[in-house]
Amino acid sequence: MISAVYADKDPLIGPAKGKLVIMGGGGRDQKFEEIFRKFVQLAGGKEARIIIIPTAVSSDPEYPYLRSLPAEFARKILGAKEVTVLHTHDKKTADSEDFIQPLKRATGVWFGGGRQWRLTKAYGGTLTEAAFHAILQRGGVIGGSSAGATIQGSFLARGDTSGNTIMIGDVQRGFAFLKNTAIDQHVVARQRQKDLIELLEDPKSQMRQEFNRQDLLGIGIDEDVALIVEGDQLEVIGKKHGTVLIYDPKKWTDETPDHKKWITLKTGDRYHLGDRKVIAQ
């Protein structure tokens, strides 16, 4: 996927090593299996050692977290060498050496859907989060859908614990596999095209000082569509005519109308995150 024109440039936003698979949620086109299959392929195929993180799906301690359809698909259909479902809501557990042992040998981690703030609450600032980044550093793959897409940005869009319509909430920190980004999902299907504009303009000054709003890049991904990210280059995969919206506030003025505050990528298109421009086919 890497273009020779950019191959020797150090990434500004994407991972220096490894790859990301960022899916905007499942929808009517039912592309989850196709996109998840690509994730497992990138993580080693039948030699892959996959970790599934279902933590975002619920806060209920009685929820059957270990019953994971992606895990069953990876085991029984894709034949991955090793598949482990890893979950806790307890930050002390997430900060223990025992808990992260499966992550030390993993070639890929997949984050499921739900509420993205649960991932930050459970794993943010712990040994587990460090182990996620270590997988990329040794050339592995991080993937996720819906909440598992948004957590991959540095600013956590829709991270409020009271509801998912609040763009700038009480939990603001993602895992920053993509630096200086805010990622939204289900964008076209749920008519969310303008929501990242609100986040990036932050009219009520709710964003914490640790984030440089002017440097953030907004990425809105529709259902049944995913990004494959390597370095600073991304490629859109998934359903035919799938849509990804890129919001670059550095290119706005006070007079820019809302409908011109994003560019539209379609399935097969590529974009350079560092240069903030479409890569010519």
The whole model's pTM is what? 0.96
Within-domain flag for 96: yes
DSSP conformational letter for 55: G
What CATH number is associated with residue 152?
3.40.50.880
Within-domain flag for 30: yes
Q: In this structure, which amino acid lies at residue 239?
A: K
Within-domain flag for 259: yes
CB 88 within 8 A of CB 98: no
Walk along the chain (281 residues) in steps of 10 and give the mean pLDDT of each run. Answer: 59 97 96 98 98 98 96 97 98 98 98 98 98 98 98 98 97 98 97 97 95 94 98 98 96 93 98 96 81
Within-domain flag for 10: no
In this prediction, residue 70 carries a pLDDT of 97
Domain residues for the domain of 245 are: 19-278
CB 169 within 8 A of CB 160: yes
Within-domain flag for 90: yes
| Residue 90 host element (H or E) | none
CB 213 within 8 A of CB 179: no
CA pair distance 64, 15, nearest whole angstrom: 33
Total of domains in the chain:
1
Within-domain flag for 194: yes
Within-domain flag for 152: yes
β-sheet bridge partners, residue 109: 51, 142
With tokens 């957590």, the residue in question is 151
Within-domain flag for 5: no
Strands 108-111, 263-266: pairing is: unpaired
CB 129 within 8 A of CB 136: no
